[in-house]
Amino acid sequence: MKYNFSQIEEKQQKLWEEKGIFRLDDRNAKHPYYCLEMFPYPSGRIHMGHVRNYSIGDVIARYKKMQGFDVLHPMGWDAFGLPAENAAIKHGIHPAKWTYENIDYMRTQLKRMGLSYDWSREIATCDPKYYKWEQLFFIEMLERGLVYMKKAKVNWCESCQTVLANEQVEDGLCWRCDSEVVERELDSWFFKITEYAEELLSGCDKLKGWPEKVLTMQRNWIGKSVGAEIDFPVKDRQEVIKVFTTRPDTLFGVTFMSISPEHPLALELAKGTGHEEEVKKFVERWKAALKSERYGQTEKEGVFTGSYAVHPVTGEDIPIYVANFVLMEYGTGAVMAVPAHDQRDFEFAKKYGLPIKVVIMPKDKTISPEDMEEAWEGPGILVNSGRFDGLDNQEAKKKIVEFLEKEGKGKGKVTYRLRDWGISRQRYWGAPIPIIHCEKCGAVPVKKEDLPVELPFDVEFDPSGRSPLPQIESFWKTTCPKCGGPARRETDTMDTFVESSWYFARYVCPDDDTKPLDKERVDKWLPVDQYIGGIEHAILHLLYSRFFTKVLRDLGYLSVDEPFDRLLTQGMVLKDGAKMSKSKGNVVDPNTMIERYGADTVRLFILFAAPPERDLEWSDRGVEGAHRFIQRLWRLVTENLDRLTKTDYSKEELSTLCKDNKRLKAIRQKTHQTIKKVTEDIEERYHFNTAISAVMELVNEISAALQDKKAVNTDAFWKVLKEALEASLLLLCPMIPHVTSELWQLLGHDRLIAQEPWPKHDKDAAKKDSVVIVIQIKGKVRGKIEAPAGADQEEVFDLAKHEPNVLKYIEGKEIRKVIYVQDRLLNIVV
RNA sequence: GCCGAAGUGGCGGAAUUGGUAGACGCGCUAGAUUCAGGAUCUAGUGGGGGUUAUCCCCGUGGGAGUUCGAAUCUCCCCUUCGGCACCA
């Protein structure tokens, strides 16, 4: 019988669908388990990254199902986004048509992989039935003050013709098209993610099932700093400049102040000081510089404004400088400069000949301004700090803040690097923001009963990439929900990351037309037990989803604090050491591979070639190896089918049969050890590569056993062999579901293998009765002996003494020490 | 600069708690089968030595250390990848 994979795979997939074995009745589920892979953007066709992502998820879902869990394993489409619009401009296809055609094609591709999805829960985020609820959330968030509009300097990408969130700007370039990001002033809507900064940060500590790497990235992104905000009055003027510092302990070391070129007072302070021209030039030069040029290790530069601030404690005059390294977006846009204890201030002071004043003395050395070559940023004892002299600097932080608060000159403050999430996009293919602008009433939310605000279908696309929505009068021309007067509908759409921030919850109740989330059902299934996806979403998607979950909790839609209990970030699929990409021409197309070798082979290769979190190097040879293994397994069963189908076995019978037959016992032992190992590898570590190699070893042993023509004649042999083969099939079922399912049927089983319970190893059968013990002399291996399992030190030592090679080393020598590790090793120190 | 991860044969990788380094797979070598190729099967495969033995030495990026024993723990250094990056 030939291994006709395409026929087998088609047949099995049809069977699974007909029997509906992966459809979940979520309400009656007793043992819920939610396994989710990041849903794809319908770009056109699936790539190897998807294949890897979904293969990993499928193993987990199928394994859990066999373990007796009711597994929620859904799939859907992150269907809004720019490529659809670009296709519309380039090829004249409507974004909706383009998107839905891609979805249809990619769905058949996924189905061809034999993934165990409950397709009845499929979601496309561009469906008004989905984004309607998102618009509802927007309005409810607005009611709670979690959404606001402001004229804001936004990151604008000229090529994409839209605004980008901070998270979407990388080194001053657009994350999507790598073109220069410029600043623009626009009315924009923001989600107040900063309101949750503290909870998002402290929540990281509770995410035990997340990779440390992702948590670190999130913590850094949130960027909490504890310090103080201190008021520095400007000399002879009304204004007060607030600075933020994490080092209030160095307050007495302030010798000048630096403010950002964007600071509202930058030009003001220079007026009439004789420095006006200089400052103006400096600020203009800075503003003209591209955002990308302001990044990196540019030389620290600045100019004196001619004005002075007054030190809040000492009353000293503090010259105010405009400096290129001070960011307006962080803190207050002004910093107190302490050159002795801050490297940047130190460099700046050296360059412009400003005084340096030491106020923190390290414990093990003395530093002085004259011979310092760099700032001392470490700990120490306060000096030159008036009444605070002699305090440890950590202690001084608290004391100085307390003092400032009492004097009304400052206060303790925490700042975050995290910015509010700008969600306005000047694009067509996204969820409309449910707002109506009225001249009289301002920005008014659409009435909830009028939702969804649907995207108009008949639109013309401008080759410039500009959104067509402001051109469509029938869309924007409306009346104010409040006063009924003429009004203009918001024509911006929401960032597509909004859709992906809550889809995992909607999967639980996609059939509910009355409300976005059915709390009872959602609470039963959330958090997602296992989430799987690429590391590239470490910040954006995963942080937004965490934020949204907390918002939905506070809006009363669900009860959990965090969306994803465990997170697995899979590595990339590489070819020739580089990420697969069209430009590099190293793309391997999943379709080609599946046609040539079948889905089982592709899945097996991907799971076997590397553990999931590591990058995976694609190897055509490796794929052939995986295919060879499946063929061997196929032959092993089909070539002995007659004998196997005639054979029956029971557990009790097997243990009796094996009692006196060393050979059979060894096979059975391997079978049960393999069950144990595979279970542990999948359950505890998701190391599918070692799980597969363990089954390969078992299959190798079965093949070897079949070489012994004498043994092949006994009934006992076939009973043991059948158990071994069936265990192999069950253990491999999550990875290569089609071929194992087919073979399972051929062996005469009525039930599908995917519905079988996961095998349990028999402790007695797995137990070895003799073990190989390594004999070391002074830590070097000098021999191996076979000893009964569980033998004590004396017994093993006795046996070891009879080994000639061991004897050679211990003869005539004094034995100083003997170390014995049960069933493993004996080390004799002479 | 800071943070994180990693470095093991020709290659992908294994060694889960400090206990036989190199499982499993690829590749390679030899043999069997075959007109030939492919496929399949058998044996071998870290390096060196060798009296060919159930042998010896070296070997997990480099150097030191702890230990009876280190790929694994500690310290220092090197390299690669990823993230953040003038964050006050």
Express each pLDDT in A398-432 by its tens digit.
999 999 999 999 999 999 999 899 899 888 999 99
pLDDT for the residue numbered A290 = 62
Which residues 308-337 of A interface with strand B at a CB distance below 7 A? 324-333, 335-336
| b/e sequence A803-825, b meaning 16+ C-beta within 10 Å | beebeebbeeeeeeeeebeebeb
- Are A469 and A508 within one domain? no
Asked if A815 CB < 7 A from strand B, the reply is: no
- Are A317 and A301 within one domain? yes
pLDDT for the residue numbered A512 = 96
- Structure-derived torsion over alpha carbons of residues A495, A497, A501, A503, reported in degrees to the nearest 10: 100
CA–C1' gap, A108 and B19, in angstroms: 51
- Are A506 and A375 within one domain? no
- Are A228 and A319 within one domain? yes
Nucleotide lying nearest to A624, CA to C1' measure: B26
**Percentage of residues in chain A having pLDDT higher than 70:** 98
Per-residue pLDDT tens for A209-240? Answer: 898 889 988 998 999 999 999 999 999 999 99
Asked if A377 CB < 7 A from strand B, the reply is: no
Bases of strand B lying below 7 A from some protein CB? 3-5, 11-16, 19-21, 23-27, 39-42, 54-57, 68-70, 82-88
CA–C1' gap, A687 and B85, in angstroms: 35
Asked if A216 CB < 7 A from strand B, the reply is: yes
| Protein residue nearest nucleotide B84, by CA to C1' | A220
- Are A114 and A162 within one domain? no
Instruction: Please indicate, yes or no, if residue A206 is contained in any of the structural domains.
Output: no
pLDDT for the residue numbered A123 = 97
Beta bridge partners of A174: A169
CA–C1' gap, A709 and B33, in angstroms: 20
Q: Which of A176, A83, A175 is nearest to A126 (CA)?
A: A83
Q: Which of A741, A420, A711, A426 is nearest to A598 (CA)?
A: A741
Contacts 24+ apart (CB under 8 A), A230-233: A230/A312, A230/A336, A230/A404, A230/A409, A230/A410, A231/A312, A231/A409, A231/A410, A232/A257, A232/A309, A232/A310, A232/A311, A232/A312, A232/A318, A232/A334, A232/A336, A233/A309, A233/A310, A233/A312
Q: Considering its fold, how many domains does chain A have in total?
A: 5
Asked if A703 CB < 7 A from strand B, the reply is: yes
CATH, residue A269: 3.90.740.10
Nucleotide lying nearest to A773, CA to C1' measure: B20
| Protein residue nearest nucleotide B3, by CA to C1' | A216
Instruction: Please indicate, yes or no, if residue A811 is contained in any of the structural domains.
Output: yes
CA–C1' gap, A193 and B69, in angstroms: 54
CB A588 within 8 A of CB A575: yes
CB A655 within 8 A of CB A765: yes
Tokens of A175: 């994350």
Mean pLDDT of chain A, nearest integer: 91
CB A341 within 8 A of CB A375: yes
Which residues 410-449 of A interface with strand B at a CB distance below 7 A? 415, 417
Instruction: Please indicate, yes or no, if residue A796 is contained in any of the structural domains.
Output: yes
Instruction: Please indicate, yes or no, if residue A560 is contained in any of the structural domains.
Output: yes
The full DSSP string for A781-808 is: EEEEEEEETT--HHHHHHHHHT-HHHHH
pLDDT for the residue numbered A426 = 87
Asked if A774 CB < 7 A from strand B, the reply is: yes
CATH, residue A110: 3.40.50.620
Examine the fold and report which residue of A535, A570, A605 is the final residue of a domain before the chain moves on.
A570
Per-residue pLDDT tens for A580-599? Answer: 877 778 889 999 999 999 99
CB A486 within 8 A of CB A497: no
Examine the fold and report which residue of A354, A381, A416 is the final residue of a domain before the chain moves on.
A416
Instruction: Please indicate, yes or no, if residue A801 is contained in any of the structural domains.
Output: yes
Nucleotide lying nearest to A826, CA to C1' measure: B19
Q: Which helix (H) or strand (E) holds A545?
A: helix A540-554
Q: Place A377 in a pLDDT band, splitting at 50, 70 and 90.
A: confident
Q: Place A669 in a pLDDT band, splitting at 50, 70 and 90.
A: very high
Beta bridge partners of A230: A243, A410
Asked if A614 CB < 7 A from strand B, the reply is: yes
Phi, psi torsion values for A751, nearest 5 degrees = -80, 145
- Structure-derived torsion over alpha carbons of residues A45, A47, A52, A55, reported in degrees to the nearest 10: 20
| Token pair 């299959």 in the structure block, residue | A699
Comparing A295 with A312, the larger pLDDT belongs to A312
Tokens of A566: 């465990």
Examine the fold and report which residue of A494, A523, A546 is the final residue of a domain before the chain moves on.
A494
| Protein residue nearest nucleotide B24, by CA to C1' | A693
Q: What's the mean pLDDT in A96-114?
A: 97
CA–C1' gap, A148 and B2, in angstroms: 34
Instruction: Please indicate, yes or no, if residue A385 is contained in any of the structural domains.
Output: yes
Phi, psi torsion values for A111, nearest 5 degrees = -65, -35
Beta bridge partners of A424: A494
Instruction: Please indicate, yes or no, if residue A388 is contained in any of the structural domains.
Output: yes
Instruction: Please indicate, yes or no, if residue A583 is contained in any of the structural domains.
Output: no
Q: What's the mean pLDDT in A55-64?
A: 97
Helix (H, G, I), strand (E, B) or coil at A687: coil
Beta-carbon-side half-sphere exposure of residue A706 (alpha carbons within 13 Å): 18
Asked if A821 CB < 7 A from strand B, the reply is: yes
- Are A241 and A318 within one domain? yes
Which residues 658-687 of A interface with strand B at a CB distance below 7 A? 677, 680-681, 684-685, 687
Residue A506 amino acid letter: R
pLDDT for the residue numbered A294 = 63
- Are A490 and A501 within one domain? no
- Are A340 and A241 within one domain? yes
| Protein residue nearest nucleotide B40, by CA to C1' | A632
- Are A300 and A361 within one domain? yes
CATH, residue A678: 1.10.730.10
- Are A706 and A810 within one domain? no
A528-534 and A32-37 as β-strands: parallel, antiparallel, unpaired?
parallel
Contacts 24+ apart (CB under 8 A), A701-709: A701/A667, A701/A670, A702/A636, A702/A667, A702/A728, A703/A632, A703/A636, A705/A663, A705/A667, A706/A636, A706/A640, A708/A663
Which residues 108-147 of A interface with strand B at a CB distance below 7 A? none
- Are A401 and A432 within one domain? no
Residue A710: is its pLDDT beyond 90?
Answer: no
Q: Which domain holds residue A693?
A: 637-766
CA–C1' gap, A707 and B30, in angstroms: 22
- Are A814 and A707 within one domain? no
| Protein residue nearest nucleotide B14, by CA to C1' | A690
CA–C1' gap, A613 and B81, in angstroms: 14
Q: What's the mean pLDDT in A765-787?
A: 82
